[in-house]
Amino acid sequence: MLGRLRRTTRTDVGLALAFVGIVYLVWALVAGLSRDIVQEMIKSAAGTDVLLPAPTRVVKVIFLRGAIVIDIVGLAWLALSLYLVVRGSRQRASISWAWVSAVCQSLVSAVGAVLVGWAAYKPHVLPVEQAPSTWEQIRHISLAVVLVVAVLLWVTALVWLLIERARLDRRGPTLRDGLRTNIYQ
């Protein structure tokens, strides 16, 4: 579908919109569960001073200290995918690009889940943490805040597309709508 462009139907747009939303929820679940798993590794290691292997330290840095970055990247990826859905609904680009973006996001979240799972079940323990820094305190609320923003963004795109479809149905297609093309000159 990425080669030839065809007219995007309402079904295509609806399926792409639903898939983009579901993929973001998978991203958010992987991010939240990864934080919990890494946090449980820290709690289980309380009171011991075992030197951590390098992969475990990397996972700790990525999923605990970089948690806000993961949340923002997921939200930005959702916005990009929604933008591609809107462009596809207006016949300006192929709807397949929205699907490709969502599939890539799900693959990246799957790689993150595998990485955390691999680090969690290695025979090791984490060192005792000192007082949490500001970024470590922010990570506890960042997923909830970004998840609410993502749901609002997704619902806004859905309502906007429904209103646009209703407007088109009410007045019917115009001559300009029939002359639109997917080929850029």
Averaged pLDDT, 164-173: 71
Confidence (pTM): 0.67
% pLDDT > 70, the chain = 78
pLDDT tens figures, 20-41: 999 999 999 999 998 888 887 7
Q: Rounded mean pLDDT of the chain?
A: 80
Amino acid of residue 153: L
Q: For residue 69, give every residue at least 6 positions away whose Cβ sits within 8 Å of its Cβ, in sequence order, or none.
A: none
Mean pLDDT for 113-125 is 73
Whole-number pLDDT of residue 58: 82
Are 52 and 126 contacting, i.e. CB atoms less than 8 angstroms apart? yes
On the question of pLDDT at 46 being above 70, the answer is no
Residue keyed to tokens 């292997």: 53
Is the pLDDT at 50 greater than 70, yes or no? no
Q: Which residue has the higher pLDDT, 161 or 177?
A: 161
- Distance, in Å, from the CA atom of 79 to the CA atom of 149, rounded to the nearest integer, reads 10
The predicted structure's pLDDT at residue 75? 95
CA 62 to chain centre: 16
- Can you give the pLDDT at residue 129? 60
Residue 145 CB neighbour total at 10 angstroms:
13
CA-angle at 172, arms to 167 and 177, nearest 5°? 95
